[in-house]
């Protein structure tokens, strides 16, 4: 019998004299073909990886076929194929972007910020050497940051894009100016400055001269004639209001020295400075009508914005001149900083604000960042290089670790196929024996 390329000749055996030979004739093909199938499959699996290096015929440079194994021989192409499969189907940029967007949520960012602040930032403040170095670095950077902040703020204000100055001014107006009260001593000091700069005898004299102009005197006389009641109108005519005002104006013009002395004496006798101080001390913005307060607040905001824009160069120059003082102030503030004094509620609020800011920024820019980062990561080249650098033994172990059960099943499948071929051989042997 010659079947599937394997010859098995039983013609020399007398099965009537040797019944056990009959069993061997029918059992042996199953065992033989099963072993043959298993061994062939086992060898084929091993030859995927072995031999690890190329071998040559003795005393020649002719390479022996099938050396090295299939995987070691084509390891570079295998690495490129695996990398392409992973980056094109398993780990695409869209998958990375989607996964990053899932992980980047406000709670995860808060946990990261919390760990960083507690375990890194605050911990560094307990190291004296690092604290001094940090203080020097921050102090050196502070003048530049201050100038850039002032410049960008005023520039935005000029372009009509900034609302921070208005908000800050309004808050200062509402929380400080609205609730502040001037003491009587402060009111006296203000009244003194008003008297020295605005209500001097000379300025009062000049003001009266302008007030008692001929046009104003005529207007005063006409108003008295129109609006004053009968007795007062008659009294004004008897006294001669127009003549008195004209004489008073002439006195102020012709006798300036006497006029100044008289005005100075009258201001003292009338207690004008004291009256001004009382009015200032009793002044309360909250007692003003709401419309007046709103108008005043609007004017204050407008004044501050206009002042900053018009004096931008002067403010930047002042910032430059204050560099040394700013650096010293920042350095001392950092050195005196004690993390233990931070209220837990305030620290928690700061962490959440940082996390919220980072989340809003990443939510808006994460897609663009990932798209730019993925090519820079070079995932395809990294995977291909890693696989290409594997030793043949490592590559074999990796494949076996992943496909051990499948490869073992393949060997068993060869055994089953061999046994099936043996069964067919038995059937054919039976037909031969019967005939």
Domain boundary among 256, 290, 312: 312
Whether residue 189 is found in the same domain as residue 308: yes
Kindly state whether residue 19 falls inside one of the protein's structural domains: yes
Answer yes or no: is 274 within a domain.
Answer: yes
- Please check whether residues 197 and 292 belong to one and the same domain: yes
Is 259 within the bounds of a domain?
Answer: yes
This prediction's pTM: 0.42
Range name among 132-146, 195-209, 310-324, 344-358 with the lowest pLDDT average? 132-146
Report how many domains make up the chain: 3
End residue of a domain, out of 312, 335, 359: 312
Is residue 96 domain-resident?
A: no
Is pLDDT at 208 greater than 70 in this prediction?
Answer: yes
Of 269, 286, 312, which residue sits at a domain end? 312
Domain assignment present for 103: no
Mean pLDDT of the chain: 79
Q: Judge contact between 181 and 187, C-beta under 8 A.
A: no
Q: Are residues 206 and 273 in the same domain?
A: yes
Same-domain pairing of 251 and 293: yes
236 in the same domain as 204: yes
The mean pLDDT value for 233-243 works out to 77
Comparing 282 with 326, the larger pLDDT belongs to: 282
Same domain, residue pair 409 and 291: no
Q: Are residues 308 and 179 in the same domain?
A: yes
Same domain for 403 and 281: no
421, 427, 430, 431: CA torsion to nearest 10:
-120
Residues 61 and 27 reside in one and the same domain: no
pLDDT of residue 432: 67
Domain co-membership, 274 together with 413: no
289 occurs within a structural domain = yes
Q: 199 and 172 in one domain?
A: yes
pLDDT of 337 strictly over 80? no
Mean pLDDT of 217-241: 78
Domain-embedded: residue 377: no
In a domain, 433, yes or no: no
pLDDT at position 202 is 92
pLDDT at 9 over 70: no
CA distance 156 to 411: 76
Residues 67 and 14 in one domain: no
Q: Give me the domain span that covers residue 400.
A: 43-73+390-423
Instruction: Give percent of the chain above pLDDT 70.
Output: 89
């Amino acid at each position: 019998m010659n079947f599937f390329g394997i010859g098995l000749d039983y013609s020399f055996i007398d099965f009537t004299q040797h019944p056990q030979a009959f069993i061997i004739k029918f059992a042996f093909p199953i065992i033989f073909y099963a072993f043959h199938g298993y061994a062939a499959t086992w060898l084929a699996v091993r030859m995927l990886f072995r031999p690890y290096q190329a071998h040559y015929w003795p005393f020649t440079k002719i390479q022996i076929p099938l050396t090295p194994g299939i995987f070691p021989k084509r390891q570079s192409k295998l690495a490129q194929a695996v990398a392409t499969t992973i980056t094109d189907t398993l780990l695409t940029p869209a998958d990375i972007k989607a996964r990053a967007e899932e992980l980047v949520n406000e709670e995860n960012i808060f946990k990261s910020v919390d760990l960083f602040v507690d375990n890194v930032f605050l911990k560094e403040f307990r190291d004296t050497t690092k604290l001094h170095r940090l203080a020097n670095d921050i102090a050196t950077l502070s003048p530049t940051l201050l100038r850039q902040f002032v410049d960008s703020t005023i520039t935005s204000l000029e372009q009509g894009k900034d609302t921070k100055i208005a908000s800050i001014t309004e808050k200062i107006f509402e929380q400080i100016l609205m609730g502040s009260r001037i003491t009587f001593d402060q009111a006296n000091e203000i009244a003194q400055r008003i008297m020295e700069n605005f209500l001097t005898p000379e300025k009062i004299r000049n003001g009266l001269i302008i007030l008692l102009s001929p046009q104003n005197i005529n207007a005063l006389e006409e108003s008295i004639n129109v609006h004053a009641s009968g007795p007062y109108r008659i009294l004004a005519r008897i006294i001669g209001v127009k003549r008195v005002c004209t004489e008073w104006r002439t006195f102020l013009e012709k006798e300036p020295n006497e006029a100044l002395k008289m005005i100075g004496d009258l201001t003292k006798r009338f207690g004008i400075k004291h009256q001004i101080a009382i009015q200032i001390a009793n002044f309360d913005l909250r007692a003003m009508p709401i419309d007046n307060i709103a108008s005043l607040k609007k004017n204050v905001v407008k004044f501050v914005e206009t002042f900053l824009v018009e004096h931008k160069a002067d403010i930047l120059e002042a910032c430059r001149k204050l560099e040394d003082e700013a650096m010293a102030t920042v350095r001392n503030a950092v050195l005196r900083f004690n993390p233990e004094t931070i209220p837990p509620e305030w620290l928690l609020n700061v962490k959440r604000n940082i996390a919220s800011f980072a989340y809003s920024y990443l939510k808006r820019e994460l897609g663009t960042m990932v798209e730019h980062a993925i090519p820079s990561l070079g995932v395809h080249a990294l995977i291909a290089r890693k696989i290409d650098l594997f030793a043949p033994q490592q590559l074999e172990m990796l494949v076996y670790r992943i496909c051990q059960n499948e490869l073992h099943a393949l060997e068993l499948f060869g055994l089953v196929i061999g046994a099936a071929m043996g069964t067919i051989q038995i059937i054919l042997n039976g037909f031969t024996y019967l005939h």
